[in-house]
Amino acid sequence: MSIAEAILEILKEEMQKHGAKRLRRVWVRAGKLSMVVPDSLRFCFEVLVEGTELRGAELLVEEIPLKGRCHDCGREFESHTYVFQCPQCYGVNYEITDGQGIYISEIEID
């Protein structure tokens, strides 16, 4: 629930900044590592906006796979699980380059 609340706060600020009256849609990028469950995030969001000025807004969640770069051979790769290993040299010496955190990528307002 707290993630949905945080998103809502950002949205309210953005709306104010742009003098927007109505929020149509919001796209959120959720990294695999952020442990966000898209369906439950959408549900929380809908519950939170009900009865507010953001009522009726649609939340779309895009799941971002985990991406990393191998320190041993330099290969960049992605993983759809939480097990991370370089597919080229099978090294486990890597840095995560994407797929962490959650952020708003786009909003559609009136």
Rule CB under 5 A: which residues touch Zn ion? 70, 72-73, 75, 86, 88-89, 91
User: In DSSP terms, which residues pair with 26 in a beta bridge?
Assistant: 59, 107
Sheet holding 23-31, edge to edge: 58-64, 23-31, 102-109
User: Shortest Cβ distance from residue 79 to Zn ion (Å)?
Assistant: 13
95 vs 110 by CB, closer to Zn ion: 95
Shortest distance (Å) from residue 71 CB to Zn ion:
8
| DSSP class per residue in 58-98 | EEEEEEEPEEEEETTT--EEEESSS----TTT----EEEEE
Least distance between Zn ion and beta carbon 33 (Å): 20
**Toward Zn ion, which CB reaches closer, 87 or 101?**
87
Nearer to Zn ion, 63 or 98 (CB): 98
Closest approach of Zn ion to the CB of residue 67, in Å: 14
Nearer to Zn ion, 7 or 70 (CB): 70
Nearest Cα residue to 4 out of 32, 31, 33, 37: 37
